[in-house]
C-alpha cells in the first residue's frame, strides 16, 4: 500500500542511495518548526506508517496542527519502533502469547501469527533478591539462589526467545533494563527498511521514560498494551499537551542529580502533568550530562507525566561515542537529526518550540534533599530531615504521619546481634541500599558515593553491622569503573558489596532482615527506616518492617548508614566519632564536584562499555546451560506453580457479545487517595498467612519456596490470591491496615480474595471505589488482571494514573470517574450500597453514564474510555481478545 501523505524523501548519504528519510523540516507553512520536539517524533511515526489501514492522512494533519487541537481530545495512533520488557512483566506477556496461540488455533487460525512484529528485548532484572550481603561472595550466592528459585521461569523465557521471532532475551546478571537500554539497546536513530527515522520505544515498566534523557521518546505501558504493540497494533492515544520545563542556571557544588529530580518531582506534582508530555529546554539543560538527564527522565512516573523528553543535542551524540556505539552510525545519526531539524542547541532560544504551558526551575535553587517517608513527591531538604521525621512520628496516620503517641517518641529497644548489644529507636536505619536504575546509571553519583566511602573509611568511620547494606549496580560497567578508580574496596569496607545486577531493594527484593532486628522493631512497634537510591518508597514496598522509607542520592545513602539514624542534623551533629575521639561531620568527607569529574573523565571510557556489552547475551553460563523446549506451541505443565495457562480466553468465540448493564454490584473495597499498583498487586514477599500462601502450601511448597509475588506472575491462581494483598492496604471498611474487607451479605471480615470468591459463587458482580491518583506507580498489568479475575467489573475513582487506566481498559474493566466537583463524600456514598451501572447500546468516548443505587439515589459518572479504539477493545472484552479475533479471522 503506497503512503498517500505528500512528503519529501531524500538520500542521507550518496554512497547509500537507498537510505532515505521523511524531511518535514522543509514544510513551508512553518508548522513543523513550532512543534515540540517530542511531538515531531509522533508526527514522523504517523507519516512512516501512513496507509489506509494503520494511520490516516487526517491523523498526520492533526499532529501538524498540534497547537490548535491539543485541548480537543483528538485521538492519534502511535506505532513505536521497539518494545522493551523486564521479566516480572515479560513472563506474563509470554504466558499470554502462548495462551493466545492456543486460542487462535482453537478458532481455526494460524497460531504463528501470534508473534512480535517489531523488535522486542526482554531484560531479566527483577528476580534477584538481597539474600546475602556484607560478604565478598554475596553476588555469586544471590545469583545461585536466583537460578534455584526461578529455573522454571527462565526455561519458559528461553522457550519464548526460540518460539517467537524478533524476541531477544538479555540473561539475568546483565543489569537493569533501563540502564541496559540507555547504554546498549537504544539506537537514537533507526536504520531499517531503507529509511532512517527516530528511535522510539514503549516498555512494560513505568520507568521506560529513562530513555527520554537520551532523546529517544519512550514511556511505560501495561503489559497487555505492549503485547498488542508487539503484534502490530498501534497505541491509540489522545494527542497530549506538552509542558515546557525550562531549566536555568547551574547546580550548586554539593547538589546531585538525585536532588534535582526529587525537586522536579515535587514541583511537577504540584503543577499537574498527568497524561501530558514534559519537554525540557533552556540553557540549564546544557549543564546536565546524559546520566543526569536520564535520572530526571527516569522519575517521570513519579511526577505523573507520560514522557519527560530531552531532545537530542551534541552532548547526546557525545554519549553515544562514550558508550562505545559504532562511530560511523553515530555520524549518520547526527547528519540525519541535523537534516530534519531535530538536533537541539539548548543555548539557542530561537529553537524553542511552542508549548502548552511553560514552568521554570533555576538549578541554583536546588538543595540536597530526600523524599519520604511514604511517597516520592514528598521532598524534604536534608537540613530539615530530623525535624520533619519527628513531626511525622506524631502526626495523624497518613502520607506524612505515623500517629505514634508523644510519650513513645523516644522509645528504645535493646537487642543482641552477633554477640554484641545494640539499640534501636524510631528513625533507626535498618536498610541502606544503593540500588535502582534511577541512580546507579549515573557515574557522577556512583563515583561520588565511592569517594565518600573512601574518605569515611580513612577518617575511621564504620557502619553498624546489623544495618542491611547493599550495592546493586545497573550494569557491569558500574562495577568496572568503581573497581578501576580504586573506590570499590572502600565501599566493601562499609558493607556496600555488590549483591547483584538488578532492581533488588527498589522493587521490594530486599531480602530478610536479621531476626533480632525484626524482633526489636516488632517489640517496640518502631518506625524503622530504609534509605535507598531508588525511585519509589510506597508503604509496604521496600520491606514489611520499614514503615518509613526515604529516597536519597547514593552518597547520602552511605551517610545515613554511617549515622545509623534519620534523626540527625548533618550541619550540627557529627556522623560519628572515630577511634581517636575526633568528631567527623558530613562536610568533612563529602567529595567536591571537581574531584568526581576528574575521576569520571579518567575512568568512564568507551572501552569498558564495549567489553561489557559485546558478551552480554552469552556471559551467563547458568543461562547458557538451560534446556528449553523447541515447540511453537507451549506444553503446559499442570503441576507447575510458576507457569499456568490463564483463563482469560476460555470460551472465546469469533462473535462479539454486547456489553451489558452491571446490576446490583457490591463494593469489594473502598479506598482514599493515592492507592498504588503496589497496593493492588504487590510484587514482594508472600505473607505466610495469606491466601496465596495457603494455595502454595496446598501444592506442597514450604514458605522458603514461596519466592515473591513478582516471580509468580506467570500463574493466575497465585496472582488472583495476591490481588489487594498488601499488608499496608487501607480499606475504609476496616479500622486497621491489612488486606481484608467486609463480605456484606454475611457481615464477616475476610481476606479480600476469600470475600471475592464468595461474591463470585453467589453470582454478584463487584466494583471498587477510590479517590485521586488510583493506580499510581508501577505499570504492572496484574493490577488490572487481578481485579478482573476477582470479578471486579468497574472502578469508580476521582482520577486515574495513565498506565493503570489503560490496563483496566485492556482487561475490559470499566474505569469510571466522578464528575468534576463530585466524589464519594459529596454524593454521600458509604460503599455499603449496591450499584447498578447503566451501559447504553451506543457508546462514545468519555460519555456520562447513569449509576443507580439500591437506596434510590441516582448520579452520573464519566466512562473513561478515551478513544474509539478503546471502545472497540471494550466491545471485544479487552485488547487481547480483540487481537485474537483479528489474527484468527
- Widest CA span of the chain, in angstroms? 81
Kindly report the CATH number assigned to the domain that includes residue 294.
3.40.1060.10
Whether 277 and 352 map to the same domain: the answer is: yes
Mean pLDDT per 10-residue section of the chain, whose length is 889 residues: 49 63 76 94 82 60 87 86 93 94 93 92 94 96 94 94 93 94 95 87 94 97 89 88 97 92 94 95 96 94 94 97 93 92 96 97 96 94 97 94 96 97 98 90 94 97 98 94 96 97 89 96 97 89 94 97 98 93 96 91 91 90 91 94 94 90 98 93 88 97 91 95 94 94 97 98 98 86 96 97 90 97 97 97 95 98 93 94 89
Distance separating alpha carbons of residues 479 and 447, to the nearest angstrom: 10
In a domain, 71, yes or no: yes
Can you read off the three cell numbers belonging to residue 513?
532482615
In a domain, 700, yes or no: yes
Tell me if 883 sits within 8 A of 93, measured CB to CB. Answer: no
In a domain, 849, yes or no: yes
Characterize 171-204 residue by residue with b for buried, 16 or more Cβ atoms within 10 angstroms of its Cβ, and e for exposed: bbbbbbbbbbbbbbbbbbbbbeeeebbbbbbbbb
Whether 576 and 500 map to the same domain: the answer is: yes
Distance separating alpha carbons of residues 497 and 488, to the nearest angstrom: 8
Distance separating alpha carbons of residues 350 and 753, to the nearest angstrom: 58
Domain end among 611, 631, 653: 611
Domain end among 16, 46, 78: 78
What is the β-pairing status of strands 420-425 and 412-417? antiparallel
Domain end among 23, 58, 78: 78
3-state SS assignment for residue 445: helix
Whether 670 and 715 map to the same domain: the answer is: yes
Residue 585: C-alpha distances to residues 449, 589, 874 (Å): 16, 7, 60
Identify the CA nearest to 626 among candidates 154, 12, 134: 154
In a domain, 331, yes or no: no
Per-residue pLDDT at 624: 93
Whether 356 and 410 map to the same domain: the answer is: no
Domain holding 722, by residue range, is 662-888
In a domain, 336, yes or no: no
Whether 532 and 677 map to the same domain: the answer is: no
Tell me the three-class secondary structure of 291-336, residue by residue: HHHHHHHHCHHHHCCCEEECCCCHHHHHHHHHCCCCHHHHHHHHHH
Whether 363 and 416 map to the same domain: the answer is: no
Whether 499 and 389 map to the same domain: the answer is: yes
DSSP H or E segment with residue 665: strand 662-670
Whether 360 and 400 map to the same domain: the answer is: no
Whether 756 and 851 map to the same domain: the answer is: yes
Distance separating alpha carbons of residues 824 and 853, to the nearest angstrom: 13
Tell me if 816 sits within 8 A of 860, measured CB to CB. Answer: no
Dihedral of alpha carbons 759, 760, 763, 765, sign: positive
Strand partners, 773: none
Per-residue pLDDT at 4: 42
Whether 600 and 577 map to the same domain: the answer is: yes
Query: In whole angstroms, what separates CA 319 from the centre of its chain?
Result: 24
Task: Give me the number of domains the chain comprises.
Answer: 4
- Chain length of the chain: 889
Distance separating alpha carbons of residues 115 and 230, to the nearest angstrom: 7
Tell me the three-class secondary structure of 539-588, residue by residue: CCCCCCCCCEEEECCHHHHHHHHHHCECCCCCCCCCCEECCCCCEECHHH
Amino acid at each position: 500500500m503506497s503512503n498517500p501523505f505528500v512528503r519529501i524523501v531524500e538520500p542521507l548519504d550518496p554512497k547509500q542511495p537507498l537510505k532515505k528519510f521523511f524531511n518535514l523540516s522543509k514544510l513551508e507553512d512553518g508548522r513543523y518548526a513550532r512543534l515540540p520536539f517530542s511531538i515531531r517524533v509522533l508526527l514522523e511515526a504517523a507519516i512512516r506508517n501512513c496507509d489506509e489501514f494503520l494511520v490516516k492522512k487526517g491523523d498526520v494533519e492533526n499532529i501538524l496542527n498540534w497547537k490548535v487541537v491539543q485541548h480537543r481530545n483528538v485521538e492519534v495512533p502511535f506505532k513505536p519502533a521497539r518494545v522493551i520488557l523486564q521479566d516480572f512483566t515479560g513472563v506474563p506477556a509470554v504466558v499470554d502469547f502462548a495462551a493466545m496461540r492456543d486460542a487462535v488455533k482453537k478458532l481455526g487460525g494460524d497460531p504463528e501469527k501470534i508473534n512480535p512484529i517489531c523488535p522486542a528485548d526482554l531484560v531479566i532484572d527483577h528476580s534477584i533478591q538481597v539474600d546475602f550481603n556484607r560478604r565478598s561472595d554475596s553476588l555469586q550466592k544471590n545469583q545461585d539462589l536466583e537460578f534455584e528459585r526461578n529455573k522454571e521461569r527462565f526455561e519458559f523465557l528461553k522457550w519464548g526467545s526460540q518460539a517467537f521471532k524478533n524476541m531477544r532475551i538479555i540473561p539475568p546478571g546483565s543489569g537493569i533494563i533501563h540502564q541496559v537500554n540507555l547504554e546498549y539497546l537504544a539506537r537514537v536513530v533507526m536504520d531499517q527498511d531503507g529509511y532512517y527515522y527516530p528511535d522510539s520505544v514503549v516498555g512494560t515498566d513505568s520507568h521506560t521514560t529513562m530513555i527520554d534523557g537520551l532523546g529517544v521518546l519512550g514511556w511505560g505501558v501495561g503489559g497487555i498494551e505492549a503485547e498488542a504493540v508487539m503484534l502490530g497494533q498501534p497505541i491509540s492515544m489522545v494527542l497530549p499537551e506538552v509542558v515546557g520545563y525550562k531549566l536555568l542556571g547551574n547546580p550548586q557544588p554539593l547538589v546531585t542529580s538525585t536532588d534535582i529530580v526529587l525537586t522536579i518531582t515535587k514541583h511537577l506534582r504540584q503543577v499537574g502533568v498527568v497524561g501530558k508530555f514534559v519537554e525540557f529546554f533552556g540553557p540549564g539543560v546544557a549543564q546536565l550530562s546524559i546520566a543526569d538527564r536520564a535520572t530526571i527522565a527516569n522519575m517521570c512516573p513519579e511526577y505523573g507525566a507520560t514522557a519527560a523528553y530531552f531532545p537530542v543535542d551534541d552532548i547526546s551524540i557525545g554519549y553515544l561515542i562514550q558508550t562505545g556505539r559504532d562511530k560511523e552510525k553515530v555520524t549518520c545519526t547526527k547528519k540525519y537529526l541535523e537534516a530534519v531539524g531535530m538536533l537541539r542547541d539548548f543555548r539557542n532560544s530561537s529553537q524553542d518550540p511552542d508549548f502548552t504551558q511553560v514552568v521554570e526551575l533555576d538549578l541554583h535553587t536546588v538543595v540536597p534533599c530526600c523524599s519520604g517517608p511514604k511517597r516520592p513527591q514528598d521532598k524534604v531538604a536534608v537540613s530539615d530531615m530530623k525535624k520533619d521525621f519527628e513531626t511525622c512520628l506524631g502526626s495523624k496516620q497518613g502520607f506524612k504521619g505515623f500517629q505514634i503517641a508523644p510519650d513513645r517518641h523516644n522509645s528504645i529497644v535493646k537487642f543482641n546481634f552477633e554477640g554484641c548489644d545494640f539499640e534501636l529507636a524510631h528513625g533507626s536505619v535498618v536498610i541502606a541500599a544503593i540500588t535502582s536504575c534511577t541512580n546507579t546509571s549515573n557515574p557522577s553519583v556512583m563515583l561520588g558515593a565511592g569517594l565518600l566511602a573512601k574518605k569515611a573509611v580513612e577518617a575511621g568511620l564504620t557502619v553498624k553491622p546489623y544495618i542491611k547494606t547493599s550495592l546493586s549496580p545497573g550494569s557491569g560497567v558500574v562495577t568496572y569503573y568503581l573497581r578501576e578508580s580504586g573506590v570499590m574496596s572502600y565501599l566493601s569496607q562499609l558493607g556496600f558489596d555488590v549483591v547483584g545486577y538488578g532492581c533488588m531493594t527498589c522493587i521490594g527484593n530486599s531480602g530478610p532482615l536479621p531476626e533480632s532486628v525484626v524482633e526489636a522493631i516488632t517489640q517496640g512497634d518502631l518506625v524503622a527506616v530504609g534509605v535507598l537510591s531508588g525511585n519509589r518508597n510506597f508503604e509496604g514496598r521496600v520491606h514489611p518492617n520499614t514503615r518509613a522509607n526515604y529516597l536519597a542520592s547514593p552518597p547520602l545513602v552511605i551517610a545515613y548508614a554511617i549515622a545509623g539514624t534519620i534523626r540527625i542534623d548533618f550541619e550540627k551533629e557529627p556522623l560519628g566519632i572515630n577511634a581517636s575521639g575526633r568528631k567527623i561531620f558530613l562536610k568533612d568527607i563529602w567529595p567536591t564536584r571537581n574531584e568526581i569529574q576528574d575521576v569520571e573523565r579518567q575512568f568512564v571510557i568507551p572501552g569498558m562499555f564495549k567489553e561489557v556489552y559485546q558478551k552480554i547475551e552469552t556471559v551467563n553460563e547458568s543461562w547458557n546451560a538451560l534446556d528449553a523446549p523447541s515447540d511453537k506451541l507451549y506444553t503446559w505443565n499442570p503441576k507447575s506453580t510458576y507457569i499456568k495457562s490463564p483463563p482469560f480466553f476460555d470460551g472465546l468465540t469469533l462473535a462479539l457479545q454486547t456489553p451489558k448493564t452491571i446490576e446490583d454490584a457490591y463494593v469489594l473495597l473502598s479506598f482514599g487517595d493515592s492507592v498504588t499498583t503496589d497496593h493492588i498487586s504487590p510484587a514482594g514477599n508472600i505473607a505466610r498467612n495469606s491466601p496465596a500462601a495457603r494455595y502454595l502450601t496446598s501444592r506442597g511448597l514450604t514458605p522458603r519456596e514461596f519466592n515473591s509475588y513478582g516471580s509468580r506472575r506467570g500463574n493466575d491462581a497465585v496472582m488472583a490470591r495476591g490481588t489487594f494483598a498488601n499488608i499496608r492496604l487501607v480499606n475504609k471498611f476496616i479500622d486497621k491496615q491489612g488486606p481484608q474487607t467486609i463480605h456484606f451479605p454475611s457481615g464477616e471480615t475476610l481476606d479480600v480474595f476469600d470475600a471475592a470468591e464468595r461474591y463470585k459463587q453467589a453470582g454478584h458482580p463487584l466494583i471498587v471505589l477510590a479517590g485521586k491518583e488510583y493506580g499510581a506507580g508501577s505499570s504492572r498489568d496484574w493490577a488490572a488482571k487481578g481485579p478482573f479475575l476477582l470479578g471486579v467489573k468497574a472502578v469508580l475513582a476521582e482520577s486515574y494514573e495513565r498506565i493503570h487506566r489503560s490496563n483496566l481498559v485492556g482487561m475490559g474493566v470499566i474505569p469510571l470517574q466522578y464528575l468534576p466537583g463530585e466524589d464519594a463524600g459529596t454524593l454521600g456514598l458509604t460503599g455499603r450500597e449496591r450499584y447498578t451501572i447503566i451501559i447504553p447500546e451506543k457508546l462514545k468516548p468519555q460519555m456520562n453514564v447513569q449509576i443507580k443505587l439500591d437506596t434510590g439515589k441516582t448520579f452520573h459518572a464519566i466512562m473513561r474510555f478515551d478513544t474509539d479504539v478503546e471502545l472497540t477493545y471494550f466491545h471485544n472484552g479487552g485488547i487481547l481478545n480483540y487481537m485474537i479475533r483479528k489474527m484468527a479471522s
